[in-house]
């Protein structure tokens, strides 16, 4: 067992990436994510990897995709405006099925906004930011330790499903130092390599939904494109083939959603009122629930570690049970719409929202729980 | 004559190019260069952006990456850094490489990463239907310049020399043997190599500017005046615009060749490599 170490969130992200097998990082400086790049440049050379600072965030994700096609596990990290610039290539990675990890350390927006202030304003952009119908996997850690765990998980999901995976946390988690006991080893999943004769290889033929993926230079010569394509990877305008590709790309995530979704449930068993919170707000919510219990209020917490795919089933079950769900998020109301949709009118939904650059505190949420419990009684 | 069929994906034909377009000649010249250099077909990667020129990579039987508009040098950078043994060749156009992707192109040149960029310059956006490009000469007509282009244009080779490219050359699509020779030199050059190919677009540039069909346009590319080749197409419409300056000379051949440290990313360099 390792000793506890005092680690910053961004540092934990880089350490986890290297532990998960990441051997390429391409990035561009932007607050508050820059610490990840600064850590990667120190760690990657000794791990046998390569670091490059690109000319912008568009190029950063392009380089990551290029490196992944060359067989490396690859990652980039950014914030706010840089995440906007990466949307083009998030879509490309979805369409071309290139595994990669994108970390977005959220800051205040819109535009350049508040670079050093926390926010959860990018949760919908992480889902819908790139154009067209596409799947999304977005993981939301709430502590430095969870940044480590979920960054490893992001690589494993990306490699297994050949799709980009986004790790989404905020400025507070990125810059906070916490005592963490790092694992001796982590589970590592690698992309499946084809074993077929290269002459017979069809790069997008997928029996189980996820096609095997050789690297450029492995002896398989194939075409990669962001255009709608057939099993040979070549552009097509056939409606049937387009429909099949769209169904398969989205099915890779939709059909595995219960494996991908992770939710923490705290004191929910007999709860009459629940808080839905994620990321850093999840920690304030947990404290508020604990304090409410001390006051005799039957409060509970549902905290998704997976934001997308959205935990519909889990939220519906809570909605069935409690009188009120308080959705606490550091934006003006983004995931609350999903909670309302998943709840289907079965319970009252109340928002505790702020987008002023300040975190949501336990006392604010305790007051919210106390007020609503009184109102219900 | 070299048979290049073994380097082509015949199953992917027919191609998307228009009659009279010289882009296919450019691809053939490149494939002949690959054959002459005896490159391992499995270790050649072609990377392209968006546009007519970028579609060429789909017909070449290598590992081929058809990326996003203008970003090919950035994809190629990741590819080359992660797998240095690959010969990485970017195929781009004047809109792809000099407008939306100019930033990526000049930074790849500045780093001196060991890739080759072949930029097919036809002075117009072909795939989207003939819009004005950063290479369209002043006075020329395009669908988005119905009264004649009023913007200045890039000299791609001068731009790349300014950006620090260690190998810069210009060739005409009308001279395939010279193209092959320059492409072979560019691919063999240690470091960033840039080759501008002056190609044609009879379908849009030709029709809008009445420069004739593909054969006329290509013939005009071979006209030379004291070692300086000037595409007839640019002469013609420039002459039509009162008070406009004549086009700058377009010298061909290798314009810059310099040996300097090659960028390999930030990595641990082992003794065998250094």
Cα separation, B219 vs A273, whole angstroms: 80
Q: Indicate whether A139 and A39 sit together in one domain.
A: yes
pTM: 0.96
User: Is B102 within 8 Å of B114 (Cβ atoms)?
Assistant: no
Q: Indicate whether A4 and A119 sit together in one domain.
A: yes
| Chain centre distance of CA A115 | 20
Mean pLDDT over B2-21 rounds to 95
Q: Residue A6: which residues within 8 A CB-CB, separation 6 or more? A: A177, A178, A179, A180
Name the average pLDDT for chain A.
97
Alpha carbon distances (Å) from A284 to A107, A143, A265, A366? 18, 12, 14, 9
Which of A49, A70, A71 should we substitute to test contact with B (largest number of B Cβ atoms within 10 Å)?
A70
Tens-place pLDDT, residues B101-114: 999 999 999 999 99
Of A130 and B220, the structure prediction assigns the larger pLDDT to A130
Cα separation, B65 vs B60, whole angstroms: 11
Q: Indicate whether A243 and A273 sit together in one domain.
A: no
Which residues of chain B are at the A interface, by a Cβ-Cβ cutoff of 8 Å? 9, 11-12, 41-43, 45, 47, 57-58, 61-68, 71, 73-83, 85-86, 103-104, 107, 264-268
Q: Indicate whether A214 and A329 sit together in one domain.
A: no
Q: Which of A225, A242, A260 is the last residue of a domain?
A: A260
A225 touches chain B (CB under 8 A): yes
Range with the poorest average pLDDT among A32-41, A93-102, A162-171, B217-226: B217-226
Note whether ipTM > 0.90 here: yes
Q: Which of A260, A276, A304 is the last residue of a domain?
A: A260
Q: Which of A260, A279, A300 is the last residue of a domain?
A: A260
Q: Indicate whether A239 and A288 sit together in one domain.
A: no
pLDDT of residue B243: 42
Chain A CB contacts of B9 below 8 Å: 223
Cα separation, A36 vs A56, whole angstroms: 16
Q: How far is B267 from chain A (nearest CA, A)?
A: 4
Q: Which domain holds residue A280?
A: 264-376
How many domains are there within chain A?
2
Considering only CA atoms, which of B107, B71, B106 is closest in space to residue B90?
B71
Alpha carbon distances (Å) from A280 to A110, A184, B174? 20, 26, 63
Report the share of chain A in percent with pLDDT over 90: 98
Asked if B85's CB is within 8 angstroms of A70's CB, the reply is no
Comparing CB atoms, the residue among A74, A89, A217 nearest residue B63 is: A217
Which of A217, A220, A232 should we substitute to test contact with B (largest number of B Cβ atoms within 10 Å)?
A217
pLDDT of residue B242: 41
Residue A61, number of CB atoms within 10 A of its CB: 37
Tens-place pLDDT, residues B213-240: 888 887 776 655 444 444 444 444 443 3
- Every domain of chain B and the residues it spans: 21-257
pLDDT of residue B238: 40
Mean pLDDT over A27-37 rounds to 98
- CA B171, B67, A127 angle in degrees (round to 5)? 155
Q: Residue A126: which residues within 8 A CB-CB, separation 6 or more? A: A83, A104, A136, A138, A166, A168, A307, A308
Chain A CB contacts of B61 below 8 Å: 221
Q: Indicate whether A44 and A189 sit together in one domain.
A: yes
Comparing CB atoms, the residue among B57, B74, B82 nearest residue A54 is: B74
Mean pLDDT over A203-226 rounds to 96
Mean pLDDT over A54-75 rounds to 98
How many CB pairs below 8 Å do chains A and B form together?
A: 147
Q: Indicate whether A19 and A148 sit together in one domain.
A: yes
Nearest-CA residue of chain B relative to A76?
B78
Tokens (6 digits) for A214? 């050789």
E-strand ranges in B114-259 read 116-121, 167-172, 193-198, 224-225, 228-229, 250-251, 253-257
CATH number at residue A55: 3.40.50.970
Check residue A303 and report its DSSP letter.
E
Comparing CB atoms, the residue among A59, A70, A223 nearest residue B64 is: A223
Tally of helices (H runs) and strands (E runs) in chain A: 13, 15
A88 touches chain B (CB under 8 A): yes
User: Is A132 within 8 Å of A88 (Cβ atoms)?
Assistant: no
pLDDT of residue A377: 57
A67 touches chain B (CB under 8 A): yes
Fold topology of B21-257: Rossmann fold (3.40.50)
Tens-place pLDDT, residues A104-116: 999 999 999 999 9
Tens-place pLDDT, residues A258-290: 999 999 999 999 999 999 999 999 999 999 999
Q: Indicate whether A241 and A372 sit together in one domain.
A: no
User: Is A339 within 8 Å of A276 (Cβ atoms)?
Assistant: yes
Tokens (6 digits) for A13? 């992200």
Name the average pLDDT for chain B.
89
Dihedral sign (CA B8, B14, B16, B17):
positive
Mean pLDDT over A348-364 rounds to 97
Which of B62, B63, B89, B91 should we substitute to test contact with A (largest number of A Cβ atoms within 10 Å)?
B63
Mean pLDDT over A141-161 rounds to 98
Considering only CA atoms, which of A343, A326, A335 is closest in space to residue A292?
A326
Range with the poorest average pLDDT among A7-21, B49-63, B194-208: B194-208
Q: Indicate whether A205 and A285 sit together in one domain.
A: no
């Amino acid at each position: 067992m390792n000793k506890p170490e005092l680690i910053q969130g961004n540092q934990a992200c880089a350490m986890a990436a290297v532990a998960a097998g990441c051997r390429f990082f391409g990035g561009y400086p932007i607050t508050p994510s820059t610490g990840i790049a600064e850590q990667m440049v120190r760690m990657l050379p000794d791990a046998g990897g390569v670091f490059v600072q690109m000319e912008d965030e568009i190029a950063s994700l392009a380089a990551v995709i290029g490196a992944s096609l060359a067989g490396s596990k690859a990652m980039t990290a950014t914030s706010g405006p840089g995440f906007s610039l990466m949307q083009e290539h998030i879509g490309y990675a979805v369409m071309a099925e290139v595994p990669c990890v994108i970390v977005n350390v959220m800051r205040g927006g819109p535009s350049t906004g508040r670079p050093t202030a926390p926010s959860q304003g990018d949760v919908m952009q992480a889902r819908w930011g790139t154009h067209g119908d596409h799947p999304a996997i977005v993981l939301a850690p709430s502590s430095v330790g969870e940044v480590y765990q979920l960054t490893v998980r992001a690589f494993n999901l990306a490699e297994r499903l050949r799709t980009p995976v986004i790790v989404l946390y905020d400025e507070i988690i990125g810059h906070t130092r916490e005592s963490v006991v790092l694992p001796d080893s982590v589970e590592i999943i690698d992309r499946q390599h084809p074993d077929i004769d290269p002459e017979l290889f069809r790069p997008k033929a997928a029996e189980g939904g996820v096609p095997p993926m050789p690297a450029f230079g492995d002896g398989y010569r194939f075409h990669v494109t962001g255009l709608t394509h057939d099993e040979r990877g070549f552009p097509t305008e056939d409606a049937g083939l387009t429909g099949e590709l769209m169904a398969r790309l989205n099915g890779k995530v939709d059909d595995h959603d219960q494996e991908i979704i992770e939710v923490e449930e705290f004191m929910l068993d007999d709860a009459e009122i629940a808080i839905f919170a994620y990321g850093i707000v999840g920690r304030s919510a947990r404290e508020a629930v604990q304090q409410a219990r001390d006051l005799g209020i039957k409060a509970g917490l549902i905290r998704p570690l997976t934001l997308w795919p959205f935990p519909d089933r889990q939220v519906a079950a809570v909605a069935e049970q409690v009188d009120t769900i308080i959705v606490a998020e550091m934006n003006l109301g983004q995931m609350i719409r999903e909670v309302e949709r998943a709840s289907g009118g079965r319970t009252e939904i109340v928002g505790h929202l702020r987008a002023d650059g300040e975190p949501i505190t336990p006392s604010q949420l305790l007051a919210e729980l106390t007020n609503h419990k009184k109102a219900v009684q | 004559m070299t048979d290049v069929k073994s380097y082509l994906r015949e199953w992917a034909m027919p191609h998307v190019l228009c009659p009279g377009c010289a882009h296919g000649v450019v691809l053939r010249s490149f494939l002949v260069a690959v054959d002459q250099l005896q490159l391992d077909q499995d270790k050649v990667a072609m990377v392209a952006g968006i546009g007519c020129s970028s579609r060429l990579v789909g017909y070449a039987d290598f590992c081929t990456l058809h990326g996003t508009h203008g970003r090919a040098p950035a994809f190629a950078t990741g590819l080359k850094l992660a797998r240095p043994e690959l010969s990485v060749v970017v195929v781009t156009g004047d809109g792809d490489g000099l407008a939306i992707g100019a930033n990526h192109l000049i930074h790849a040149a500045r780093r001196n990463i060991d890739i080759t960029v072949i930029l097919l310059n036809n002075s117009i956006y072909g795939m989207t239907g003939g819009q004005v490009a950063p290479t369209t000469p002043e006075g020329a007509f395009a669908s988005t310049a119905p009264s004649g282009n009023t913007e200045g244009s890039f000299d791609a080779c001068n731009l790349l020399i300014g950006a620090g490219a260690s190998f810069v050359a210009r060739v005409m699509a009308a001279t395939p043997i010279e193209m092959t020779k320059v492409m072979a030199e560019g691919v063999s050059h240690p470091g960033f190599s840039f080759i501008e190919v002056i190609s044609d677009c009879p379908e849009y540039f030709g029709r809008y500017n009445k420069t004739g069909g593909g054969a006329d346009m290509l013939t005009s590319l071979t006209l030379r005046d004291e070692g300086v080749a000037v595409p007839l197409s640019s002469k013609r419409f420039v002459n039509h615009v009162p008070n406009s300056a004549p086009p700058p000379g377009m010298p061909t051949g290798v314009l810059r060749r310099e040996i300097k440290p090659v960028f390999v990313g930030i990595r641990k360099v082992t003794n065998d490599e250094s």
